[in-house]
Copies of this chain bind each other. A is one copy, B any other.
C-alpha cells in the first residue's frame, strides 16, 4: 500500500526486549540485518556478531527472534454489510478487500506463513485471488462455522507435523482479521514482542461510544465508565503453545459464542495478555460505509507520489528513465508530450508499464498531456488526431492502466496561459484522486 517509510527490524527489537523499544530504520524496504525469513534464507541463520560462549549462546537463544506465522479467519458471511458478497471479498478499486490485508501481512518479511481459513464454497474464489494478485506464503484451511472454530482449524494446520505440509509450528502466532487491511508492520511487531514476553498480546483502541448494559426489559441497567474500558481490536499475538492449548481446552460454548481470543488465553492458560495501543487505522471494515472509507483511504495513498515525465526530441533518454521510474512505488504518471509526435512517448511509457507487474495490485493512472497552439494547428484538427487515445485507452484498460488525455490550450496571453496551466493541474489532481475507470480514454481540455 505504498509502504510506510519506516521499517522495523525484528531481531534488533527483540534484543531490546526488556524495554520493548522498537528500532525503526528509515527508507529501506528490504530486511537486511533482521532475522531472515524463509523466502530469502533459512530461519534463524542470520549471522551474529562474534563467536559466542555457551552462557552467551543460551542468553542469545532467549533473545533470538521468534519464528512467526499469521492466521486470518475469513469465513464470515458479512451479514452486517447488507450485501450478498461476504465483506472480505467485496471489491475496492476492483480488487477484493482480503487481498489488501494479505498484501499488508506479506510485506512484513519476518512473517513466514499466512494461514487463511475460508469456507468450502469460497475456496475457489480464494485460490483465484491468490493467483491473480500473486500472493505468496499463503496456506488455505477450511473455515469452521464460527470465528473461533476457523482460528482453531488454522492453528491445527500449523501444529500438525503433516508429511506434505510446508507449514512448521511457529513460536509466535499472529491472529488478525481479513477485514482490517491497513495494519502496519509496527503494531504487528509490538504485539509479537509483547506476546513473546507475556504469552499473549493484543491491540486496543479507546471506546468511541459509552458501553451500557441493558436489563431484561430493555431499559438501562448500568453504563460503564468509558475511560476505564477499551475496545479490543486486532492484531493479537500469542506464544503458539499458549493459544493452541487454550483452544484445545476450551468448551463448545466458547467455540460457538466466544468472541475474544485473549479471553481464552486468560481463562484456560492463566495468561494475562499485554495490551498495546493501536492506531485508528486498525478499524474493522464492518458496514458498507467502511468500504467507502477504505476506498477513499486507498485512493488517498496514491495522491502523494506522481511521476511527471516531460519528453522532447532533444531531452529524451526515455528507456533508462522509465526503467528507473517503475522501480519506485508510484502509480501515477503524467507524460507531457513536447515536440514528439502525438502519442510516441506515451506509447513508450505504456509499453514499459505493460511489461512490468506494477498494475497487478493497483490501477495505474497515466495522463497523456498535449499542448495546443492554435496558431500552428487548428483546434478541430488537433482534436481529431488526439482521438486515437480512445483505442489506446481501451487496450491498456485490460491491464488495469487508466489512460486519459489532457489537451492544454497554449495562448500567447500570459494571464490566459497561467489560467490554462492552473486548470490543467486541477484536472490532473482530479484524475489521480478519483482513479475512475469511467473516464478512461477521455480527452480533457484545460
Residues of A within 8 A of B (CB): 80, 198, 200, 202, 204-205, 207-215, 218-224, 226-233, 257, 259-260, 262-263, 266, 272-275, 280, 283-284, 286-287, 289-290, 292-297, 378-381, 383-384, 387, 390, 426-427, 429-430, 434, 436, 438-439, 442-445
Per assembly, the copies of the chain total: 2
**Taking CB as reference atom, which chain B residue is nearest A277?**
B218
Structural contact, A220 and B434, CB atoms closer than 8 A: no
Beta-carbon nearest neighbor of A273 in chain B: B220
Contact across chains for B290 and A223 when beta carbons are under 8 A apart: no
Which residues of B are found within 8 Å of A292, using beta-carbon distances?
Answer: 292-293, 295-297
Chain B residues contacting A215 (CB-CB under 8 Å) are: 272
Q: Give the contacting residue for A226; candidates B207, B229, B259, B280; CB below 8 A.
A: B259
B-chain residues with CB within 8 Å of residue A436 when the two chains form the complex: 430, 434
Contact call B293/A210, Cβ cutoff below 8 A: no
Q: Is the CB of A293 within 8 A of B286?
A: no
Give the CA-CA distance A379 to B384 in the complex, in Å. 7
From known contacts A289-B293, A430-B438, infer whether A229 and B204 are also in contact, taking CB-CB under 8 Å: no
Evaluate contact between A214 and B227: CB separation under 8 angstroms.
Answer: no
CB-CB nearest in chain B for A443: B445
10 A-B residue pairings within 8 Å (CB atoms): A210-B231, A211-B224, A212-B260, A220-B262, A221-B272, A224-B224, A227-B257, A292-B293, A429-B438, A442-B445
The answer to whether B257 touches A232, judged by C-beta atoms less than 8 angstroms apart, is: no
A21 to chain B, nearest CB (A): 15
